[in-house]
Amino acid sequence: MLKLSRSANLRLVQLPAARLSGNGAKLLTQRGFFTVTRLWQSNGKKPLSRVPVGGTPIKDNGKVREGSIEFSTGKAIALFLAVGGALSYFFNREKRRLETQKEAEANRGYGKPSLGGPFHLEDMYGNEFTEKNLLGKFSIIYFGFSNCPDICPDELDKLGLWLNTLSSKYGITLQPLFITCDPARDSPAVLKEYLSDFHPSILGLTGTFDEVKNACKKYRVYFSTPPNVKPGQDYLVDHSIFFYLMDPEGQFVDALGRNYDEKTGVDKIVEHVKSYVPAEQRAKQKEAWYSFLFK
């Protein structure tokens, strides 16, 4: 660069000098050279800095050509557009994919609401039942009570309809669980008798006051059953208004409230069962290295 500019400067100076003839020619040439050299030395940086990379360095008038796009600039724009377009397409697509995945994770209990966890109960046949019994199959849990004056059979009837449609139409078998919130009155025998009026696969669970209280807390069911009730004492018991759908890992998936009727409830459950990805598969498609970009 330095060499190029210097020789250009020299040529510029020599051109007018060569046209001259006679005595003064030599002197003028020397003076001219001297002047230009001095000028070039005093503000030598200017012509250098104005030469664009790959561009035409200097024209006859000594100025840098301006105003038109250089060839290299055109290439740079094309490259910029191609790379930028490809990256933006790729990241947009990945963002969408990761968002869907994250949503599924969030509903699986890593986000809100976080429910479930260890509990210890007894089923209506006298067998131990813990959170480990949820593993390996989808479960649907309902919290209620059997006490006669306040039977709300609508919900359990609805559950029976869901279970029938799910198995006959979609081949999906759930493990339906009925956890009592009223252990003082709902012994295994009472539960067995009460549930015989509903779908035969519903398994009744009960336990001590503290065990039931713990289970209700874990599933965020309002628990207000009074402890140490006297025999014959009347009291109100709360029941959940939700059916809790749990996946085969025992993780909470969804809570289905009153707004799900016999049809929409089935649709929702089918949707969840079909979109379920087993843990090993989820681990494989774990976070991509660039996922930090979307956080």
Partner 1 sequence: TETDKKQEQENHAECEDKPKPCCVCKPEKEERDTCILFNGQDSEKCKEFIEKYKECMKGYGFEVPSAN
Catalog residues that contact partner 1 under the rule CB under 8 A.
112-113, 115, 149-152, 213, 217, 220-227, 235-236, 238-242, 255, 257-258
Q: Is the distance from CB of 177 to CB of 207 less than 8 angstroms?
A: no
Cα torsion at 167, 115, 194, 257 (round to 10°)? Answer: -70
Nearer to partner 1, 126 or 200 (CB): 200
**What are the backbone angles phi and psi of residue 177, rounded to the nearest 5°?**
-120, 135
SS (H, E, C) 93-121: HHHHHHHHHHHHHHHHHHCCCCCCCCCEE
Minimum distance between the CB of residue 179 and partner 1, rounded to whole angstroms? 15
Nearer to partner 1, 58 or 256 (CB): 256
**What are the backbone angles phi and psi of residue 289, rounded to the nearest 5°?**
-60, -25
Minimum distance between the CB of residue 214 and partner 1, rounded to whole angstroms? 12
Nearer to partner 1, 110 or 222 (CB): 222
Minimum distance between the CB of residue 290 and partner 1, rounded to whole angstroms? 32
Q: Are strands 120-123 and 203-206 parallel, antiparallel or unpaired?
A: antiparallel
Minimum distance between the CB of residue 154 and partner 1, rounded to whole angstroms? 9
Minimum distance between the CB of residue 127 and partner 1, rounded to whole angstroms? 28
The whole-angstrom distance between residue 37's C-alpha and the CA centroid of its chain comes to 67
Nearer to partner 1, 169 or 258 (CB): 258
- Calculate ∠ Cα 270-272-100, nearest 5°: 135
Nearer to partner 1, 71 or 222 (CB): 222
